[in-house]
Structure 1
Amino acid sequence: MEKLIGRNLNISVFISGRGSNLLSLIKYSKNKNSKIKINLIISNNKFSKGLEFAKKYKIKHFIIDYSKEKQAEHKIYGYLKKNKIDLICLAGFMKILSPGFIKKFKNPILNIHPSLLPKYKGLNTHIRAIENKDKFSGATVHVVTPKLDSGKIILQKKVRILKSDTEKTLAKKILKIEHKLYPAAIEKILKKSSL
């Protein structure tokens, strides 16, 4: 991890859907003081709206067919190596990376998850928080490990759940904080060896 501190990072973002976190990372990378460059975008979904951002900002991108996971991951690893990727950011990537892939890619892999981990790992986080009458929910950036949503927490931010909140309104509130949280978590990694 030491070698990542205080230098510019080549980042690959993995997406499956609308790519709103991807867009916030692209905007962050364009800041004058930013030390990151998004070199590569990987998607398992050819209909992902996030691919439009890849085209708009002229970022190299590949669509990976995941019907054969082993072949898909082998292909992805080749792209990462070729593009000298230092850090992977999963941003709504709806595939679980295999333990073999995580081990092979020696540098950190981050994920952003829409709950206050360790609460509500996996899917349907918003409705679970509402049904349990939680007062707060939020988002977490964590290190990816072979165990789902269980790696070291880099940064968390919470939002209050109102009695009037629905799954949709809570999702919207959390997405808004995610857009600030992901860049802040990368900043934290760049400043100190936190992994």
Structure 2
Amino acid sequence: MVKKNACIFISGKGSNLKNLINRSRDYSFPISIKLVVSNKKKALGVLHAKKNFIPYLIINTKSQNFENYLLQDLKKRNISIICLAGYMKILSKKFLRNFGKKVINIHPSLLPKFKGLNTFSKILKHKEKKTGCTVHFVDEKLDNGKIISQRFFFIDPSDNEETLRQKTQKLEYSVFPESIIKIFQNY
């Protein structure tokens, strides 16, 4: 199998990155992670890249030229897909258009409900009966693109933001890799 070159964008601990790195070692998994990008210098997820000898970039999103530099680097590495895994910045329309390939995101709610930040507090505030996660294509609107996969669980009355986060991440670890497989089987 010829694997597609992937880049994973992170901002934090990188638990989804770690999971994708582990999955990418499987011969039948369709991507090989060639680059990790973080917008935060101290993102713990960068350690997963270092431990696995994956090149990484720390980008300064306040710099005017960071998108051009990043696009050149992605092209040089022949990146076919970007996976946003806890990346807490919005990619510009210009960046998405110029990349011109697949960009996917994992979001901790059942979209179209609860787009953006503070998802778990919104879920609790609205007294939802169930929640989960969504993998979707990224388009020019926030958490809006075509849905690839969703997975849900029922909310227990004792759940709080932290328990919802833990339960959602557990689902993410299966649905994100499954969505990547689905993309390369169907597209």
TM over 0.5: yes
Is 1:164 aligned with 2:158?
yes
Alpha carbons 2:30, 2:180 under 8 Å: kept: no
Q: Which residue identity does 1:39 align to in structure 2?
A: K
1:192 aligned residue: 186
- Which structure has more relative contact order (CA 8 Å, sep 6+)? It is 1
1:31 aligned residue: 26
Is 1:145 aligned with 2:139?
yes
Aligned partner (choices 97, 100, 104) of residue 103 of structure 1: 97
Q: Please give the alpha-carbon distance, in whole angstroms, between the structure 1 residues aligned to 2:181 and 2:119.
A: 26
2:41 aligned residue: 46
1:54-93 matches, within 5 Å, as: 54-68=49-63, 70-93=64-87
Q: Which residue identity does 2:122 align to in structure 1?
A: R
Q: Please give the alpha-carbon distance, in whole angstroms, between the structure 2 residues aligned to 1:66 and 1:106.
A: 20
Q: Which residue identity does 2:18 align to in structure 1?
A: L
Deviation at 1:32, TM superposition (A): 2.7
Aligned partner (choices 133, 153, 176) of residue 170 of structure 2: 176
SS at structure 1 position matched to 2:34? strand
Alpha carbons 1:16, 1:48 under 8 Å: kept: yes
2:7 aligned residue: 12
Q: Please give the alpha-carbon distance, in whole angstroms, between the structure 1 residues aligned to 2:52 and 2:2.
A: 23
Structure 1 segments unaligned to the other structure (5+ residues): 1-5
Once superposed, what is the RMSD of the aligned Cα atoms? 1.0
SS at structure 2 position matched to 1:149? coil
What is the number of residues matched between the two proteins? 187
Deviation at 1:7, TM superposition (A): 4.4
Q: Please give the alpha-carbon distance, in whole angstroms, between the structure 2 residues aligned to 1:33 and 1:104.
A: 30
Identity of aligned residues (%): 45
Q: Which residue identity does 1:79 align to in structure 2?
A: D
SS at structure 2 position matched to 1:66? coil
Q: Please give the alpha-carbon distance, in whole angstroms, between the structure 1 residues aligned to 2:16 and 2:65.
A: 27
Q: What's the TM-score, normalizing by structure 2?
A: 0.97
Structure 2 segments unaligned to the other structure (5+ residues): none
Alpha carbons 1:130, 1:161 under 8 Å: kept: no
Q: Please give the alpha-carbon distance, in whole angstroms, between the structure 1 residues aligned to 2:12 and 2:85.
A: 9
Q: Please give the alpha-carbon distance, in whole angstroms, between the structure 1 residues aligned to 2:109 and 2:22.
A: 24
Q: Which residue identity does 2:185 align to in structure 1?
A: K
Deviation at 1:40, TM superposition (A): 0.5
Q: Please give the alpha-carbon distance, in whole angstroms, between the structure 2 residues aligned to 1:102 and 1:32.
A: 29
Q: What's the TM-score, normalizing by structure 1?
A: 0.93
Measured against aligned partners, the alpha-carbon deviations of 1:114-149 in whole angstroms (never above 9, x if no partner) come to 000000000111111111111100000000011000
Deviation at 1:35, TM superposition (A): 2.2
Q: Please give the alpha-carbon distance, in whole angstroms, between the structure 2 residues aligned to 1:132 and 1:7.
A: 45
